[in-house]
Structure formats: structure tokens, C-alpha cells
Chains A and B, each alone.
Chain A
Amino acid sequence: MKTYFILLLLMAICSLWAVMRGSLIRAAIALAATSAVLSIIMFKLVSPLAAVFELSVCAGLITVIFMSTISLAQPLTYSEMIERSKARIKRFWFLPLILVIFAFLLTLLAANLNPPLIAPETEKNISKVLWDIRQLDVFGQILILFTGIFGVIVFFGNFDKQGGTK
């Protein structure tokens, strides 16, 4: 239980770091660290396949997407970044305070909570769930993926023509 608490705390710290850091690249790295900690939690909570997906896709692919976006969007210079980070800190210093207040309130609320009753597991084979029970959803996911690919081609292709990156 102590491990689970430490992992949750680590995840909260990583996400806070992602939000409050000045550098966008460091924010993206902190986001990847959040995903990595989440995947460890998933392994601990007996969801290994979801953990692998989280680690490879969220901590890997999405970080790459963020890095390429940051490099393509040509963000601020170093001096501009320092100037703006002072203004940003003024807006974000409330966040730890809000978190402490909410954590206190939620701890009070959680004192009266009871976990739901455990139901017997209906299916133990994930491939059976994905390909038999949720067959239509899988085809939906394939359609969503193609929509995403089409969207990326449209947006980044447009950028290539206008920006002349090639």
C-alpha cells in the first residue's frame, strides 16, 4: 500500500512539474514521466497490456509528437521565455494551494467511503474481449486511426506547402 501511495504522489508531482515548468521541452519530458509512473501503477493493478500500451504510446509516441510540435512551432527565444515565465509563475502559484485545499476536502470525504462489492470476473482472455465481445469497437478504433492519419496529412501537408520545410 505504501508503494501505491508513493507512486500516486510521484505521479502528482510529475504532473505538477509538467504544468509549472517554464521550458516546453521539460514539460513534455515531465508528461512522459507521468505516463511512465502511470504504467507502473497499471502493472501493479494487474493490467499489463494497458501498461505496455501506456508506456509505448503515451510515454513514447505522444512525447515525440510534442517534441516535433515544439520544434516546428518555433517557440520563444531564451530571453523571451524568461520574461514570460515570471508572468506565468504569478498565474500558477495558486495551483499548489488549490491542490492542498482539495486534498484536505477529499480526504475528509473519503473517510466515509466504502469500496464497491467485488463482482466475479466475466472474462479472463483479453483477445476474446477485444475480438469477440467488442468486435465493432475495434473496427471503430481502426476508423478513428485512419481519421487521425488523414487529419495529420491534411494539417502537416498544408504546413509543408506554406512553410516550405521541404
Chain B
Amino acid sequence: MTLFDMNTFFKLSFVFIPLLFIIGFYCIIITHNLIRVLVGLELIIKAVTLLLVVVGYTTNHTVLMQSYIITLIIIEVVVIAVAAGIVVNVAKQTGSLDTRNLRTLKG
């Protein structure tokens, strides 16, 4: 039982998921702001989550994919929380959120 025309659905997803990934990746490599790096990372994770949903729907394994997505979301939260802690400490140490200040780190 499918809600959509599967062929068009698959093609639309094939176009939009890489675009989301590109937005996140471009943000990570271009920006100099640590918080914006996290935003880019989040967008890449969103693209992967959408890919899992689409794969689950296309192959008719939505239940299994939901359990994978829940795992992914838990890992995402942990990564972002720890990274946020690191960003706060870096901002406190260097006085800015600029990634170029991290080049002077030693040890």
C-alpha cells in the first residue's frame, strides 16, 4: 500500500536529499563561526535522517527504519550537547567563536 506515485517520489527524494547535504557541507567548510559549524553538522544529519525515512518507505521497512532513526536522533543529541560544551569553553578561553583562533592551540 503506497500513498504516493513511487517513481516520482523516489526521484524527488534523489534530488532533494543531496541538496540538503550540500547546504550543510558548504556551511561547515566555508564558515568561521563554531556555532554555525554545528548548524551545518545538524543539516547533514537531517539529510541522513530524511534518507533513512525515504529508504524505509520505499522498501516497506518503515518500522525497522524508525528504530534506526531513533538511534540516530539520540546520537545526534549527545554529539550536539558535548560539542556545545566544547564551544562554550573555547569561547571562554579565546574570547570569540572564530575557528581561526583554534589554530594557535598547542598540545
Contact = CB atoms under 8 A, between A and B. Distances in A.
Interface of A: 1, 4-5, 8-9, 11-12, 15-16, 18-19, 24, 27-28, 31, 34-35, 38, 41-42, 44-47, 49-50, 53-54, 57-58, 61-62, 65-66, 68-70, 72-75, 88, 91-92, 94-95, 98-99, 102-103, 106-107, 109-111, 113-116, 118-126, 129-130, 133-134, 137, 141, 144-145, 147-148, 151-152, 154-156, 158-159, 162-163
A45 B85 contact: no
Closest 9 CB pairs of A and B: A155-B85, A148-B78, A73-B91, A115-B10, A151-B82, A50-B69, A110-B11, A69-B84, A45-B57
B91 A99 contact: no
> Chain A: interface secondary structure?
helix
B60 interface: yes
A15 B66 contact: no
Interface of B: 2-16, 18-20, 22-24, 26-27, 30-31, 33-36, 38-40, 42-43, 46, 49-50, 53-54, 56-67, 69-71, 73-82, 84-89, 91-92, 97
Given A15-B43, A123-B63, A57 B86 contact: no
Given A47-B57, A113-B14, A141-B74, 16 more contacts: A1-B5, A8-B13, A11-B46, A11-B50, A27-B35, A34-B43, A50-B73, A53-B70, A58-B77, A66-B35, A92-B30, A110-B15, A133-B64, A151-B81, A159-B88, A163-B92
Given A8-B12, A144-B75, A69 B87 contact: yes
A141 B88 contact: no
Given A46-B3, A66-B84, A148-B81, A16 B16 contact: no
A19 B27 contact: yes
B69 A47 contact: yes
A74 B85 contact: no
Contacts of A156: 85, 88
A53 B71 CA distance: 10
10 contacts: A1-B9, A41-B53, A54-B69, A66-B84, A72-B88, A102-B22, A103-B19, A118-B2, A123-B64, A156-B88
A133 B62 CA distance: 15
